[in-house]
Structure 1
Amino acid sequence: MRVIAGEFKGRKLNSLKGDNTRPTSDKIKGSIFNMIGPYFEDEVILDLYSGSANLAIEAISRGCQHAYCFDNHFKAIEVINENIKLTKAPKKFTVKKMDARKGLVFLESKKVKLDMVFLDPPYAKQIIVDDIEWVIAHDLINDRATIICETDADVELPDVIAGVEKVKTQEYGTTKVTIYRLWEVDLND
């Protein structure tokens, strides 16, 4: 696993050991960023189920301003922190050991507004629709925000969730990537 493009290009990243994790492969990560970018300018992002912070580090490498990384496993937080050290840009990351819902509550308490959200929960805990509805209901994303979901290939997400519209779906073997975008809408309707 490595950083594919941008400021940190070529840096090898650590991943969690064991069968309980499945980091996003470089091929899938490259495809995701080709669909949503490939480069950015000062966006604030959330990697809600960070694992190794692979996606967050790639986003920062490609020009995003700040990444919030949450995971509830101690070993994952260790790996995330090791990988962030490799970037030599630790101030661009906020890392917290907490589950997804507590992470979202933390962001709400800090009045964070997100431009990009990565949702890659463990396949056994696919709660993506709930996560998106929570983010929308608590006004955590900016207009034209992008939400990137990684699921098992047989998971079919709705075309519209709480005002965000599915704009692209792509399958890679046993993995499916679904991209949602919040168009400029009045969230109070």
Structure 2
Amino acid sequence: MRIVSGLYGGRPLKTLDGNTTRPTSDKVRGAIFNMIGPYFDGGRVLDLYAGSGGLAIEAVSRGMSEAVLVDKDRRAQSIISENISMTKEPQKFDLLKMNDQQALKQLSGAFNLVFLDPPYAQEQIVAMVTLLDQQGLLSPDVMVVCETDKGVDLPEEIGALGIWKQKVYGISKITVYIH
């Protein structure tokens, strides 16, 4: 895997072996950014189930100012740290080594872009989007990008957010919510 485009374009990304994470393929990552960007003029990105960190690193590569990556798996944290080092700009990244609930208690400020690719998609996505919104962590122009298996049907609306775009790529479904 590699960074698809932007400042770090072409640089390799390390991923975890095994079934603990499902890294977003280069093709799907490129398609996601074509849906939502493809480039940004600053802003904050949150990747709540970071895995390898590829989505958040791609977002910074394409112009986001800073990223917060959250993962509770120690092996994933090690891979994320290596991938952040590859950027040569570690100051743009903050890795929180904890679960989603713990992270939400520590986070502050609004995010412009949020990636959610949790292991148990539907229930966790609805709960997390609701909590992020209630805690004021979503900017008025936020895009919440959810990656699920193609068979998962997310609600049309979650709180004040509604589906803006939705596409299926192979076995993955990408759903983008906006205010």
TM-score range, shorter chain: over 0.9
1:133 corresponds to 2:123: no
Q: 2: CA distance between counterparts of 1:171 and 1:40?
A: 23
Aligned counterparts of 2:165 and 2:132: Cα–Cα separation in 1: 20
Q: State the match for 2:178 in structure 1.
A: 181
Match of 2:113 among 89, 98, 116: 116
Q: CA deviation at 1:20?
A: 2.4
What is aligned with 2:141?
A: 144
Contact 2:49 2:71 in 1 (8 A): yes
User: Do 1:116 and 1:145's aligned partners in 2 also have CA atoms closer than 8 Å?
Assistant: yes
Instruction: Write out aligned runs for 1:22-171 (5 A).
Output: 22-107=22-107, 111-123=108-120, 126-171=123-168
2:19 aligns to what?
Answer: 19
Q: Is the contact between residue 126 and residue 151 of structure 1 (CA under 8 Å) also seen in structure 2?
A: no
Q: TM-score normalized by structure 1? A: 0.92
The amino acid across from 2:164 in the alignment is V
Q: Which runs of 5+ in 2 are unaligned?
A: none
Measured in 2, the distance between the counterparts of 1:93 and 1:130 equals: 25
Q: State how far apart, in whole Å, the 2-side matches of 1:150 and 1:96 are.
A: 21
**Number of equivalences:** 179
Instruction: Give distance in 1, aligned partners of 2:71 and 2:145.
Output: 17
State the alpha-carbon separation in 2 of the partners of residues 35 and 45 from structure 1: 16
Cα separation, partners in 2 of 1:172 and 1:126, compared to 1, 3 Å? farther
SS of corresponding position for 2:41: coil
Q: Which residue of 2 aligns with 1:187?
A: none
- Hey, what's the Cα distance between the residues in 1 that align with 2:162 and 2:122? 22
Q: Secondary structure at the match of 1:147?
A: strand
User: Over aligned residue pairs, what C-alpha RMSD do you find?
Assistant: 1.1
Q: Distance in 2 between matches of 1:72 and 1:60?
A: 22
Segment of structure 1 superposing worse, 136-145 or 86-95: 136-145
Q: How far apart are 1:19 and its partner, in Å?
A: 2.0
Quote the offset at 1:144 in angstroms: 1.4
Deviation readout 1:92-116 (Å, 9 max, x if unpaired): 0000110011111110xxx321101
Task: Give the Cα separation in 2 of the matches to 1:113 and 1:105.
Answer: 14
Contact between 2:14 and 2:79, CA under 8 Å: does it hold in 1?
yes
Query: SS where residue 127 of structure 1 aligns?
Result: helix
Is contact 2:122-2:154 (8 Å) kept?
Answer: no
**What do residues 44-78 of structure 1 show as CA deviations (whole Å, max 9, x unaligned)?**
01000000100000000000000000000111100
TM-score normalized with structure 2 length: 0.97
